[in-house]
């Protein structure tokens, strides 16, 4: 079997051949592409071809370190001598046309001496990338102010520096049949749950698509359920968050040309958890985390509650409020549900416009929309002034989600809730909440329950999801996901209590 | 049909969830009206009745555990087939499931009535029934683990309602409890029997037992759950007796709901609306557990796919709840369930236990003689 394969590779080899033939073959493949540079030199009666794509390679390196030694040193060049004498590393040999073409595209320069068995290639890759910059979407006040960039090399570099351990595995997987893209599966060998790693690897390898556009797209391909509105994998642009999560035994995925990393498995609570909770002291961190839960609840419930109360349950509203509300609503021509939908729609418009417009104009839009339109809408008698407060509050609350995806999800959920409240009042709202609970219970992330550690209930994990305990008490990793190594450090020494005057 | 069941590892549940299951299935629509029914029998000594009921309840649970522990991993359906033979066993199993179905129907109909009385007098029963049943279908489709997840989460989402009772507590009149120990033993037992509808539902243990991962630890959560729900009923009854005058309470059908009527906040004037709505969650857990038991039971007995049963039962229930829209029908149904349920849930285990023990003895002897 093996011998057969060997023979096959031998027959695949296009070498040895004349330089002119090679030139013809390569040029044919790059039809109407003027970018291929194919130079032929003659030295000691031997023809040498050097070919590369000019903008994919670093021109300085090609000239100074490849062409100069090659032409200056007076030698009879053969494959091995080139490898030995040219001061570049690493040199690889290729003899198959496919390999040559594939590597040409990613910026390798090839040297071929006539009638040799193989061409020698140097990775003189030139890739344009932006500098690492501050995070734009997931801003944090404390902690590292650095975000992933589009360059996979840079990202890997950042990750490696954060997790300086030989435990860290960065598996390379190519995804995409037509235009393959490099994807890295990142995990800690001695901590990550084997099943998770295998599942993720399986999903990545089995992915049969022509190309993937971005890591957000990839995460949608490999999610457990595509019908739900909830994101199942956390996508982050923060290397510190990425490394923290991977370091605790979960799995990260980085995709070439994408400035976001995928983290799996994720729970609902991880979407409401910011790395800032960790940098704060535990009590402040817990406060902020609980604040976010409350915010999410308010964001989903407040507007529907208004609609329900004003449409069906006047009795809920205390008399004095009722008078104000009645006066305010007296001029409004719509039923409450239309009123609320108009205003919600307005807020969504503002948000979308703010996100699409250039930063400077975006700020203006915010002011125009928030202050002027809000004021005018009430004066024009289109909505009641209390509704403005309600809508503004729920919009504000939805923006507290550290994950932009989750924030959007919450905002979208609000619309069916408003409809339910408009149709069935409080019963409708509770119906919606029950539906959400059942739905969340059914979702899985990489085969793990989405609501862990609340259900299945794990007491020991609550301090990582619902609130944050002091670090001395966080001596365990996330039990629900069964890491290989549960203990982070020894409990006894960490929380040793001293007697008075000891 | 096998007597013992093998449950896959991934759908097994830990024993402590039993606490939440027992509480959620016992606390449902029954609680809303319980104080009146107990009070009409035992008057101001109703609290003694509830304690008697609890003791009896614990006894029944003890017997149920004795029955279940005679087998490796069996549920009531398997045990009945083992004890009574294939045909009678299956017939009894079917009867059991019919009982659960009717109990489910009574819960559904009662809650719909409460909604119609307190919130939406004009909303059709069919629509409320559809809303509830759609949630039940959606939940039960997720299987036993999802159902128990809902039970677990809703337990925490609804128990805060108890704290709101502080307002009626502040206005209780202690003289309503005097003279104490006035009721005769018969009246006390009658009062205890009046709780039977409220406390019903723990027979789910007969179905769920094979799913328990650590059976050794199953007893404590179950007993604790029974005590907990008895405690809730006790608290509500005591407050109702203290808050309402005896004459008033006799005619107050939804006395617990009326207790919440006086709870006000600066931002919420009437709390009973919110209470009725939130109570939907509580009722939902009860109904989901019952529905799951129906689908699972029919699968065990007749190998009908659970999905078929689920859709069919829901459809039938929806149609029926559209018809039962008169108060006297609801009351009649509840009474029937309470009467039949009393025999099935509270008496039947005591009859079953000696039979199971006999059968076991018989089998052991047989095995022993064969060994010789």
Same domain, A240 and A174: yes
Cβ neighbours of B157 in A, within 8 Å: 437
Find the radius of gyration of the CA atoms of chain A: 30
Domain finish residue from A123, A141, A164: A123
Same domain, A437 and A305: yes
- Contact indicator for B199, B27 with CB cutoff of 8 Å: no
Q: Is residue A466 part of a domain?
A: no
Same domain, A170 and A62: no
A161 touches chain B (CB under 8 A): no
Same domain, A181 and A253: yes
- B239 Cα to chain A: minimum distance (Å): 24
DSSP line for A68-111 = HHHHHS-----HHHHHHHS--S-EEEE-BHHHHHHHHHTTEEEE
Q: Is residue A288 part of a domain?
A: no
Q: Is residue A387 part of a domain?
A: yes
Same domain, A102 and A159: no
Residue whose C-alpha is closest to residue B165's, from B268, B243, B60: B243
Domain finish residue from A246, A266, A286: A266
Domain finish residue from A448, A477, A495: A448
Domains contained in chain B, CATH given: 9-371 (1.20.1740.10)
| CA B362 – CA B74 distance, rounded (Å) | 18
Residue B121's closest chain A neighbor by CA? A312
3-state helix, strand, coil in chain B (%, to 5): 80, 0, 20
Q: Is residue A165 part of a domain?
A: yes
Q: Is residue A493 part of a domain?
A: no
Same domain, A31 and A75: yes
- B287 Cα to chain A: minimum distance (Å): 13
Same domain, A443 and A405: yes
A455 touches chain B (CB under 8 A): yes
Same domain, A370 and A436: yes
| Token pair in block for residue A423 | 């149709």
Peptide bond into A90 cis (omega under 30): yes
- Per the structure, the complete domain to which residue A246 belongs is given by 152-266
Q: Count how many pairs of residues, chain A against chain B, have C-beta atoms within 8 Å.
A: 86
Same domain, A248 and A328: no
Numbered residues of chain B with Cβ closer than 8 Å to any chain A Cβ: 14, 16-17, 115, 119-120, 123, 127-128, 131, 135, 138-139, 142, 146, 149-150, 152-154, 157, 264, 266-270, 273-274, 276-278, 280-281, 284
- A177 Cα to chain B: minimum distance (Å): 36
| CA A327 – CA B303 distance, rounded (Å) | 63
Instruction: Give the Cβ contact number of residue B355 at 10 Å.
Output: 15
Same domain, A119 and A158: no
Q: Is residue A381 part of a domain?
A: yes
Asked if A455 lies within 8 A of B284 by C-beta distance, the reply is no
Cβ neighbours of A319 in B, within 8 Å: 269
A316 touches chain B (CB under 8 A): yes
Q: Is residue A179 part of a domain?
A: yes
- A425 Cα to chain B: minimum distance (Å): 9
Cβ neighbours of A429 in B, within 8 Å: 277
User: Digits of tens for pLDDT over chain A (502 positions)?
Assistant: 444 444 444 556 777 788 888 888 888 888 777 888 888 888 777 888 888 888 888 888 888 888 888 888 777 777 778 877 777 777 788 878 888 888 888 888 888 888 888 888 888 888 888 888 898 888 888 889 999 999 999 999 999 999 999 999 999 999 988 888 999 999 999 999 999 999 999 999 999 899 898 999 999 999 998 899 999 999 999 999 999 999 999 999 999 999 999 998 999 999 999 988 889 999 999 999 999 999 999 999 999 999 999 999 888 888 888 898 888 888 888 899 999 999 999 888 888 888 888 877 777 777 777 778 888 888 888 888 889 889 989 989 998 999 989 999 999 999 999 999 999 999 999 999 999 999 999 999 999 999 989 988 998 899 888 998 888 888 888 888 889 888 888 877 767 777 888 7
Q: Is residue A484 part of a domain?
A: no
Same domain, A307 and A370: yes
Asked if B269 lies within 8 A of A315 by C-beta distance, the reply is yes
Same domain, A225 and A361: no
A 282-301 residues with CB below 8 A of B? Answer: none
**How many domains is chain A built from?**
3
């Amino acid at each position: 079997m093996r011998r057969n394969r060997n023979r096959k590779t031998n027959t695949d080899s296009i070498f040895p051949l004349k330089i002119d033939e090679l030139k013809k073959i390569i040029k044919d493949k790059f039809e109407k592409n003027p970018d291929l540079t194919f130079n032929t030199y003659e030295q000691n009666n031997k023809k040498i071809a050097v070919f590369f794509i000019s903008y994919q390679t670093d021109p300085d390196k090609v000239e100074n370190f490849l062409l100069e030694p090659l032409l200056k040193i007076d030698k009879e060049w053969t494959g091995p001598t080139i490898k030995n004498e040219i001061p570049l590393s690493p040199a690889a040999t290729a003899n198959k046309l496919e390999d040559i073409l594939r590597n040409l595209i990613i910026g390798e320069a090839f040297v071929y001496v006539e009638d040799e068995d193989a061409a020698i290639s140097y990775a003189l890759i030139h890739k344009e990338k932006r500098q690492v910059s501050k995070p734009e979407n997931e801003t944090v006040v404390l902690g590292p102010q650095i975000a992933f960039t589009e360059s996979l090399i840079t990202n890997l570099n950042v990750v490696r520096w954060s997790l300086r351990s030989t435990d860290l595995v960065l598996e390379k997987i190519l995804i995409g049949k037509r235009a393959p893209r490099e994807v890295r599966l990142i995990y800690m060998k001695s901590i990550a749950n084997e099943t998770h790693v295998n599942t993720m690897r399986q999903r990545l390898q089995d992915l049969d698509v022509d190309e993937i556009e971005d890591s957000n797209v990839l995460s949608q391909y490999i999610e457990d359920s595509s019908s739900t509105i909830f994101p199942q994998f956390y996508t982050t642009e923060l290397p510190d968050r990425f490394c923290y999560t991977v370091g605790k035994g979960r799995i990260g995925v980085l995709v070439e040309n994408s400035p976001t990393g995928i983290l799996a498995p994720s729970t609902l609570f991880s979407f409401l958890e910011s790395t800032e909770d960790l940098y704060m002291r535990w009590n402040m961190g817990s406060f902020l985390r609980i604040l976010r839960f409350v915010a999410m609840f308010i964001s989903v419930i407040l507007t529907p509650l208004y609609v329900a109360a004003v449409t069906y349950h006047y009795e809920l509203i205390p008399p004095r409020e009722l008078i104000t509300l009645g006066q305010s609503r007296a001029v409004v021509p719509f039923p409450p549900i239309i009123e609320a939908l108009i205003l919600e729609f307005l807020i969504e418009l503002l948000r979308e416009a703010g996100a699409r417009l250039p930063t400077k104009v975006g700020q203006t839009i915010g002011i125009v929309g928030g202050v002027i339109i809000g004021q005018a809408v009430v004066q024009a008698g289109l909505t009641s002034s209390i509704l403005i407060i309600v809508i503004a509050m729920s919009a504000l609350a939805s923006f507290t989600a550290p994950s932009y995806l989750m924030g959007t999800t919450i905002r979208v959920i609000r619309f069916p809730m408003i409809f339910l409240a408009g149709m069935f009042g409080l019963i409708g709202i509770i119906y919606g909440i029950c539906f959400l609970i059942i739905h969340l219970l059914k979702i899985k992330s990489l085969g793990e329950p989405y609501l862990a550690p609340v259900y299945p209930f794990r007491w020991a994990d609550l301090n990582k999801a619902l609130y944050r305990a002091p670090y001395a008490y966080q001596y365990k990793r996330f039990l629900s996901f069964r890491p290989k190594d549960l203990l982070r450090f020894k409990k006894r020494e960490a929380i040793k209590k001293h007697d008075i005057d000891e | 049909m096998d007597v013992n069941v093998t449950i896959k590892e991934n759908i097994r549940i830990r024993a402590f969830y039993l606490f939440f299951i027992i509480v959620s299935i016992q606390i449902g629509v029954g609680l809303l009206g319980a104080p009146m029914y107990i009070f009409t029998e035992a008057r101001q000594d109703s609290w003694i009745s509830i304690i008697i009921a609890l003791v009896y309840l614990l006894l029944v649970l003890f017997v149920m555990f004795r029955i279940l522990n005679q087998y490796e991993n069996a549920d009531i359906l398997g045990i009945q087939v083992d004890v009574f033979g294939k045909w009678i066993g299956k017939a009894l199993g079917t009867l059991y499931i019919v009982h659960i179905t009717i109990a489910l129907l009574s819960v559904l109909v009662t809650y719909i009535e409460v909604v119609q009385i307190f919130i939406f007098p004009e909303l059709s029963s069919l629509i409320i029934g559809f809303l509830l049943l759609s949630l039940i279908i959606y939940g039960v489709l997720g299987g036993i683990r999802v159902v128990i997840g809902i039970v677990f989460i809703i337990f925490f989402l609804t128990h805060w309602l108890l704290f709101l009772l502080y307002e009626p507590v502040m206005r209780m009149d202690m003289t309503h409890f005097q003279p104490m120990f006035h009721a005769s033993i018969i009246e006390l037992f009658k009062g205890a029997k009046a709780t039977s509808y409220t406390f019903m539902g723990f027979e789910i243990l007969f179905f769920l037992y094979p799913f328990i991962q650590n059976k050794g630890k199953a007893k404590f959560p179950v007993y604790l759950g029974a005590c907990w729900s008895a405690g809730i009923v006790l608290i509500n009854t005591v407050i109702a007796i203290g808050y309402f005058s005896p004459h008033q309470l006799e005619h107050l059908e939804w006395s617990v709901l009326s207790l919440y009527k006086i709870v006000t906040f600066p931002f919420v004037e009437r709390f009973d609306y919110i209470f009725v709505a939130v109570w939907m969650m509580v009722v939902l857990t009860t109904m989901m557990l019952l529905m799951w038991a129906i689908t699972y039971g029919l699968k065990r007995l007749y190998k009908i796919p659970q999905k078929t049963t689920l859709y069919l039962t829901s459809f039938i229930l929806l149609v029926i709840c559209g018809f039962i829209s008169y108060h006297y029908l609801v009351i009649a149904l509840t009474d029937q369930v309470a009467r039949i349920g009393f025999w099935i849930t509270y008496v039947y285990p005591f009859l079953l236990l000696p039979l199971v023990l006999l059968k076991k003895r018989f089998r052991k002897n047989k095995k022993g003689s064969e060994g010789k």
